[in-house]
Amino acid sequence: YPTRPVDKDKAEQELVVNIKKATSPEESAPKQKHVRKCIVYTWDYHSSISFWTGLRVQPILADEVQTFKALITVHKVLQEGHPVTLKEAHGQTGWLETCARTVGHESPKGYGTLIRAYVQFILAKLRFHRLRPEFNGLFEYEEYVTLKGVDDPNEGYEIISDLMGLQDQIDGFQRMIFAHFRGSANNECRISALVPLVKESWGIYRFITSMLRAMHRRTTDTEALEPLRTRFSSQHYNLRKFYYECSNLKYLTGLINVPKLGQDPPNLLDRGGA
Amino acid sequence: MSTLQHFGKGTLRVVKNYTKGYSDTQAKVRDATSNDPWGPSGTQMNEIAQMSYNQNDFVEIVEMLDKRLNDKGKNWRHVFKSLTLIDYLLHAGSENVVAYFRKNLYLIKTLKEFQYLDEYGKDQGANVRQKAKDITNLLSDESRLREERRTRANMRERLGGSSRN
């Protein structure tokens, strides 16, 4: 199957170790090298079944930090794994709901609320991808998808509304993560959950921008798009604030480039890039 | 062979090449992507690029690069220098190299969050992250890659370099 020189039995064994290490009890970021191996596995074998099985057999639900790290790992594998991962994830919603149910409300390290919100977000993401399988896990820009929606304005309107719904969920969740920072402690574990959120929100933002532009070009009835413009504008300001706050987190800026948005939302009626 | 290679890690690498039964091609890739704090040299990269036009050598080259790319943080130089070599091969190596890394883009893409702090707390991962980003962008932009490969081939011709077969 893979074009790379690999050994399936060895890969399966290593996957178990990688999942275990990515979801270790240390209150730190899931180590990227282990997350990366999980992602690479799904591409090598065009399957994520062993990844999910591996998660389910690990005793992670007893510990809130391990559960939270498992959700970060899941989120990253959904974003960057082989496209089949998103499809196969639909069969895993039961396990995700169990993660949210198992953690107590008065969890000592304060991850309970975050875990429940993370599960809600991942389930919303999966619902979106089920309806619109043409999007990849990071909403990376593909011209044909944009055009497809534009040809049918109603369809385009709905896609944009759905994307905006997801963007609002990201915004709500990131605010909650910031609100749960602890003054004295190092917040690396919590911050590491912001990394996939920055990437995903940026993908969605770019997509919405270019799609809205394309729709404005195709239609003479710009009045009808007014509700989307208003919502786009308010999401722009929220996202700008989110990225600004992220840019002050040294741990995070060391890992990814946090995008910088202009003071005001871009003009949807001109022809520039996103 | 420079005298430096007879010392320390260089010697160990020569021994390993021998005991692990690496072929000449594999040994060349290992040398070019070693933990030495210099290189890979233009000569080394050019030689490997020319070898990539041979199907057998091509397979051995990507096999070795695959190992190096998946190396651990402490060996970040293996990863960084493999990326450097891949960048070179995408420009000057055979089409097979382009096809291979386009198909296995995720190997490189997932290095965009590579992390390693050395014993002085210096962020050595940044080099790898930047290189992984550059190559991902290059591989995602078909026309730019075509253009850069053409320019390079033209330049070689004008400089009177032997034409590739």
| Per-residue model confidence as pLDDT tens digits over A215-271 | 888 877 888 899 999 999 999 999 999 999 999 998 899 888 899 999 999 988 865
Determine whether B143 is exposed, middle or buried from the number of CB atoms within 10 Å of its CB (0-12, 13-18, 19+): exposed
Instruction: State the nearest Cα–Cα gap between B59 and chain A, in angstroms.
Output: 9
The CA distance from B117 to A249, in Å, is: 17
Task: Find out whether the peptide bond into A83 is cis, omega within 30 degrees of 0.
Answer: no
Note the pLDDT of residue B2. Answer: 47
CA nearest to B62, candidates B86, B32, B38: B86
CB contact under 8 A, A39 and B73: no
Chain A CB contacts of B73 below 8 Å: 33
Q: Which residues of chain A have pLDDT under 50?
A: 274
Evaluated on CA atoms A118, A44, A26, A59, the torsion sign reads positive
The CA distance from A104 to A61, in Å, is: 11
User: Measuring CA to CA, how many Å separate B164 from each of A206, A234, B32, B40, B50?
Assistant: 42, 57, 21, 22, 7
User: Measuring CA to CA, how many Å separate A177 from each of A118, A194, A202, A246, B107?
Assistant: 10, 8, 18, 11, 30
Prediction pTM value? 0.88
Q: Does A7 touch chain B (CB under 8 A)?
A: no
Q: Does A10 touch chain B (CB under 8 A)?
A: no
Determine whether A179 is exposed, middle or buried from the number of CB atoms within 10 Å of its CB (0-12, 13-18, 19+): exposed
CB contact under 8 A, B106 and A4: no
Q: What is the dihedral of CA A187, A124, A82, B82, to 10 degrees?
A: -30
Is residue B47 scored above 50 in pLDDT? yes
Q: Looking at chain B, which residue has its C-alpha nearest residue A255?
A: B113
Tell me which residue in A4, A31, A39 faces B66 most closely, judged by beta carbons.
A4
Note the pLDDT of residue A218. Answer: 82
Interface of A with B in 164-203 (CB under 8 A): 195
User: Measuring CA to CA, how many Å separate A222 from each of A135, A154, A216?
Assistant: 26, 14, 6
The CA distance from A4 to B66, in Å, is: 8
Helix (H, G, I), strand (E, B) or coil at A27: coil
- DSSP one-letter code for A267: P
- B114-137: average pLDDT: 91
- Cβ contacts of B163 within 8 Å, gap of 6 or more: B156, B157
Evaluated on CA atoms B5, B11, B16, B17, the torsion sign reads positive
Note the pLDDT of residue B5. Answer: 46
Is residue B97 scored above 70 in pLDDT? yes
The CA distance from B65 to B88, in Å, is: 13
Query: Are B73 and B116 in contact, with CB atoms under 8 Å apart?
Result: yes
Query: Are A150 and A214 in contact, with CB atoms under 8 Å apart?
Result: yes
ipTM, 2 decimals?
Answer: 0.80
Evaluated on CA atoms A67, A70, A72, A74, the torsion sign reads negative
Q: Looking at chain B, which residue has its C-alpha nearest residue A33?
A: B114
Q: Looking at chain B, which residue has its C-alpha nearest residue A34?
A: B72
Q: Looking at chain B, which residue has its C-alpha nearest residue A29?
A: B115
The CA distance from A227 to A209, in Å, is: 14
Chain A CB contacts of B109 below 8 Å: 80
Length, in residues, of chain A? 274
Chain B CB contacts of A4 below 8 Å: 62, 66, 104, 107
